[in-house]
Structure 1
C-alpha cells in the first residue's frame, strides 16, 4: 500500500467536529444533540449525488470523502459542520496506515 500522496495545503475547508450526546426524554427514549469537539482543517471531495424517492417525495443523497489530519477520537456517528452544512461520518479509515490522515466517508444531511 502506497502513501497517501496529496498536498496538505489542499486541506482548505475549516470544519467543526461534533459528537452526539443523548439526553433522556423522560419516556424511555432520548433526544440526540451535538456538542463541539474541535475546529479543524479538511479537504472535502464530493463523491456522488444519488436521487431517491422516500414517502412519495424526491430527495438527493450527497456523499463526500473528507480528509482530516489523524485524530484518535473521531468515530462513525460524529459529524462535521461547515456553515449550515452537516456531514455525518458514516465510516473512516487511515488510508495508508501511517497515522497521518483519516479518510472519512460522509453523507450530507438536510439536502
Structure 2
C-alpha cells in the first residue's frame, strides 16, 4: 500500500509543479487550483508512506521521480529543451532511485 500512496504523492506533486508555470503567478484559475490542491494531497500521501518506509528512501523516490516526471511534462507542455548534461543528470537520479529500491536493504527494512 505504501507504494500506491507514494505513486499518488508523486503524481499529485508533478501535477502541482507542472501547473505552477501555467498559473502565471496564480492569475489563471484552473492551473492555480491544481497547484493549491496538488501539494496538500502530495504531502498527505507522503506522510502515509512514511508510516512504513524510511523517510530517506521515501523522499529520495518522491523527489527523484518527481524531478524526472516534471522534466518530461515540461518537455511536452512547455517545450523545455534538454541538453546532454540535463539528460545525463536526470538519468543518474533515476539510476539512484532504482539502485535504492532494487538493492538496498534499507528500502525493505520497514515494509
TM-score (norm 1): 0.24
Higher RCO, Cα 8 Å, sep 6+: 2
> Which is greater in Rg?
1
Please state which structure has a larger fraction of its residues in helix: 2
Please state which structure has a larger fraction of its residues in strand: 1
TM-score (norm 2): 0.24
